[in-house]
Amino acid sequence: MVFSSPDFLFLFLPAVILTYFIVPPVLRNPVLLLFSLFFYGWGEPAYIILMVITIIVDYIGGYFVAKFLPTSRKKAKIAMAAAIVINLLSLGFFKYWDFFATSLSALPFIPELPVLGLTLPVGISFYTFQSLSYVVDVYRGDGNVQKNIATFGTYVVLFPQLIAGPIVRYCDVDDQLRKREHRLDLFASGVRTFVCGLAKKLILANSAGAMWDSLSESVVGNSPSVVAAWLGLLFYTFHIYFDFSGYSDMAIGLGKMFGFVFRENFNYPYIADSVTDFWRRWHISLSVWFREYVYIPLGGNRKGKGRMIFNLFAVWFLTGMWHGAGWNFILWGLYYGVLLCLEKLVLNKFLEKIPVWIRRVITFIIVMFGWLLFASDGMGFFSTYFSSMFTAPFLSSTVLYDLVRSLLLIAVLFAASTPAPQKIFRKLYEKSWGRWAIALAAGFAIILSVAYMVASSYNPFLYFRF
């Protein structure tokens, strides 16, 4: 079940809201837990067992960490390490076994390993990292041990951010799990945020995605051209942004409806003026997770340049692996590891002398090339597409038609990826008539989104596969 489906919007969501606010406050977390398990089981019924095992393992791990911590930090660390290892083994088996089996079996001195053809449990990368943060936060003293397993289960499988984030650290919602406010203004804010995300997904992301599908097929097929390759990659760049940020907005909005306040996951990443700045703005919850639980524990930048370079490459290798079991994801992670090291060690002083708008253009192009690695289903696709960007015939009549008819869409995508619309809405909100205009715009967005939803086929979010 996806947020942008009729089943979710017209059946599941009204049912969970109605039930949640009817029951006594003490039953609200169990209600969210049961509905979240049903939400997950709608598409992955077999893997509910895996999720329940994750909940039990980390609940027990957190219990023993808290029990041992006052008397024996060593035992507490062992309990934490055991929970971490079990979680990572589960993630590694389901996500990476086939990749490593295929890769290692290609080596001459390794016996052939069985390829199991495992189906990747939806959202396993997200809920595993989220659940791991509980055990670590309890060990660090950043969060209180959760004695109620239903409440802890609610944290792990809470349906708004279960499938594709944001990755919510336990220390950020510990208090909210125990007691949270339910205000009409917060609920209304959640509805607005959800509608914004829904429009991003159904109107902008899906439109950009359709153009990418068409153009990429022609680029790697029989009619490649330089313009088609660049135009297609531009559309993919917007497709992944509006798809993923749209999901994050919907998740954050749904959280507000149930009294949870999650941190923003995107901050206009395509206006970044450096790669470092881009990763402060893109998938913020993942960047924070790796910084807090990997980069800083490894020593961060406190132990000299050599150690900092190693730590950066370790984090970005793991970031690439987290996104997918494929060489393109590993290379994508290392691509950013190299760029971030270059910026920190060499380029920062040089970049400061360049006008901001030029830095933004350069960063945007660098990010586009990164997305080509990300979008490739194999290195053959990548090499063919990359080559077409520079060596194919410059233009074809078909692509010229695509370019002309998509100029308005491109303008809208660029504008919507900047803070300009938000600034306009804020100014309108200060005026009484402006609020009515915003309400009408929201109503129009809902109608248009539903029309797109009804007219389109099943179109899941890109990050579901991670």
Which residues carry out catalysis? 323
- CA dist list (Å): 205 to 5, 130, 167, 286, 462: 15, 26, 21, 21, 10
Structure tokens at 54: 């994750």
DSSP for 121-142, please give it: PTTHHHHHHHHHHHHHHHHHTS
3-state secondary structure of 148: coil
Which residue has 């499938």 as its token pair? 163
Half-sphere exposure of 176 (CA within 13 A, CB side): 19
Structure tokens at 235: 């559309």
Burial (CB count <10 Å: 0-12, 13-18, 19+), residue 92: middle
State the alpha helices, DSSP H only, in 143-274. Answer: 149-157, 170-178, 184-199, 206-219, 226-257
| Contact present, 139 and 69 (Cβ < 8 Å) | yes
Locate 160 and state its tokens: 């708004």
